[in-house]
Amino acid sequence: MGGMTSDGGPEGGPGGGAILFDDIGLLYTADPEREEIGGAALIVEDGVVAWVGPSSSAPRPGTGGRAVPAADRRVGLGGRAVIPGFVDSHAHLVFAGDRTAEFAARMAGRPYSAGGIRTTVAATREAADDTLATNAEALVAEMLAQGTTTVEIKSGYGLTVEDERRSLEIAGRFTAETTYLGAHVVPPGVTADDYVSTVTGPMLDACAPYARWVDVFCERGAFDEDQSREILAAGIRAGLGARIHAGQLGEGPGVRVACELGAASADHCTHLTDADVAALADSGVVATLLPGAEFSTRSPYPDARRLLDAGVSVALATDCNPGSSFTSSMPFCVALAVREMRMSPQEAVRAATAGGARALRRSDVGVLRVGARADLAVLSAPSYVHLAYRPGVPLVAQVWKDGRRVV
Ligand code: NIG
Ligand code: FE
């Protein structure tokens, strides 16, 4: 592919040669070494970032003799902002059915409870594989259009050995970040003890080959401390990394279990004791905040400032699911984090990119530094601050994944 061109539309096959993204108004890299660069450029080669810096010093054809290739193509961005593709580290996308009525009832004053999960479980068990895959595909496409280039996808609406296994097999068609959440709730007709034995036994055996992570909903109405510890420990023994739903509806043991077992992330963290905050800060377990859930259940938001001020690593994710947070939009979560949780725009975008990557123990995504994947979003705005300043506005103009334009 020769010659210098300006930006075109989405394209298919591999682009040959290096691409210079030029005339970037503000580049947010999420790299602590150089987190923002005004008037920036970025060179991508073979799907990874090859050079980042001020536009004025970008290697250009004829400047030869440098380790960095002079680009074969130029994509002029006309002063628009660029950010790393969002890393949505918490989503439940394999399901069927609809819970509109439950949402409407909640907005009329009914409280949210873990029990609603069973409605989706019934619909998911009934659904054909193709239906589940089509539903997940549509949500992944929504996410991509809003700048999300890496997503974690959980099982958890099957709750039989085969329904959990197929949920993970389907999730794996869309991401490498698959999470076994057989321990979402105890399904009807089974005792809790029997179900924990299944989750840690035959269901784990069937699911582990399709999963990278194990998760448990540690909450009143779902799984208690001992059950959560047992379920995560079994997953870890099977070679999975641990993550946990902790402190969504009330204070509980989830963060303690996460820190004790070296989980990558404790998610929700809406209700935390001082000891929980200290343990998160000491252990390096990421606190993943999911403000879409508080929005959609009309609940108080997590105290992000308390976590950040204590030195806890914070991630932001959508929790996209049909019950408590049916949004696929990371920009919406960024806006909520800034307006409702007193995160600065930079803290919120950092949490939605590098934070999510850390929650998935990934160093190749969520950051635009040399060697990282060339996953990025171009905003129709001069700065990432507009993600919060202009809430609800579709600002994601282009999305590039592995150096190819996909939106
Ligand atoms: O993260 N908390 C548990 N799981 C989901 C809710 C699932 C549902 O209500 O269907 C959550 O909020
Ligand atoms: Fe969740």
Query: Domain map of the chain by residue range?
Result: 5-85+367-405, 86-359
- What pLDDT was estimated at residue 2? 33
- Spell out the CATH class of 86-359: alpha beta
Q: Is 269 in the pocket of ligand 1 (CB under 6 A)?
A: no
- What pLDDT was estimated at residue 13? 41
- What pLDDT was estimated at residue 9? 52
The total number of residues shown for the chain amounts to: 407
- Index of the ligand 1 atom closest to the CA of residue 245: 2
> Is the distance from CB of 217 to CB of 181 less than 8 angstroms?
yes
Task: Report the separation in Å between the CA atom of 403 and the middle of ligand 1, taken as the mean of its atom positions.
Answer: 34
Q: Which tens digit of pLDDT belongs to each residue from 92-119?
A: 999 999 999 999 999 999 998 877 899 9
> What element of type H or E holds 292?
helix 291-296
pTM, whole model, 2 decimals? 0.96
In order of 167, 190, 192, the CA distances from 196 in angstroms are 19, 10, 6
Query: Which residue positions in the chain have pLDDT lower than 70?
Result: 1-16, 62-67
Task: Report the separation in Å between the CA atom of 218 and the middle of ligand 1, taken as the mean of its atom positions.
Answer: 11
Strands 314-316 and 86-88, bridge-based pairing: unpaired
Q: Is 217 in the pocket of ligand 1 (CB under 6 A)?
A: yes
Q: What are φ and ψ of residue 6, in 5° steps?
A: -90, 175
- What pLDDT was estimated at residue 68? 76
Q: What are φ and ψ of residue 27, in 5° steps?
A: -100, 120
CATH number of 5-85+367-405: 2.30.40.10
Task: Report the separation in Å between the CA atom of 317 and the middle of ligand 2, taken as the mean of its atom positions.
Answer: 10
Q: Is 116 in the pocket of ligand 1 (CB under 6 A)?
A: yes
| Number of helices (H), then strands (E), in the chain | 15, 16
Greatest alpha-carbon pair distance for the chain in Å reads 72
Q: Is 223 in the pocket of ligand 1 (CB under 6 A)?
A: no
